[in-house]
Amino acid sequence: MAVIKDIAAIAKGMSITLKEMFSPTVVENYPDGPGPLKGAKFQERFRGVHVLQRDENGLEKCVACFLCAAACPSNCIYIEAAENTTEQRISGAERYAQVYNIDYNRCIFCGYCVEACPTDAITHGHGFEIASLNATSLVYRKEQMLAPLPAHLGSNAVFNQAETETGTPAVRS
């Protein structure tokens, strides 16, 4: 009887092995996959590198209210505000962020900043490959996080939704 029991167990185990062999793979083929994400897949809600959004007119949504900085538990957001002028209009309201830095050495990707934002200006993108051997390069400037201008507003770069979602730096050094 013992022999039959053993054979049954092996058959049961091998059936799982064989079943999995012919079903599609669950493991992501990162980093050898195709596309800008190199095979990585994300849930919609994944909290990656921040993206600073623009409104339908291409103006920055951020009005430099500092609420994200106030909400931030790791104190990694630094903002300097300035006033829009008629000659130079950056955001939709009176004030805009002249400097907007996020220190990714400190950021814990908790999403409080996104929750605090009254204008939906800051969102989490899906950018995640930010590890670096140089800590100073982890302080991201506004230009690195800003969503690209929509193509119909004169931006030469083709509007690339995937790149916006990844949150990869718009300006690469």
Residues in touch with another protein (CB under 8 A): 63-67, 69-70, 80-83, 93-95, 118-119
The distance of closest approach from Cβ of residue 32 to another protein in the complex, given in angstroms and rounded to an integer, is 44
The distance of closest approach from Cβ of residue 119 to another protein in the complex, given in angstroms and rounded to an integer, is 6
For residue 100, what are its two tokens? 């907007």
Tell me the residue ranges of DSSP E strands in 12-167: 49-52, 77-83, 95-103, 122-127, 139-140
The distance of closest approach from Cβ of residue 142 to another protein in the complex, given in angstroms and rounded to an integer, is 16
Residue closer to another protein by CB (options 18, 70) is 70
Burial 3-26 (b: 16+ CB within 10 A, else e): eeeeeeeeeeeeeeeeeeeeeeee
Residue closer to another protein by CB (options 64, 113) is 64
Residue closer to another protein by CB (options 98, 105) is 98
Diameter of the chain measured on Cα atoms = 91
The distance of closest approach from Cβ of residue 162 to another protein in the complex, given in angstroms and rounded to an integer, is 30
* C-beta separation of 97 from 38 below 8 A: no
Residue closer to another protein by CB (options 69, 110) is 69
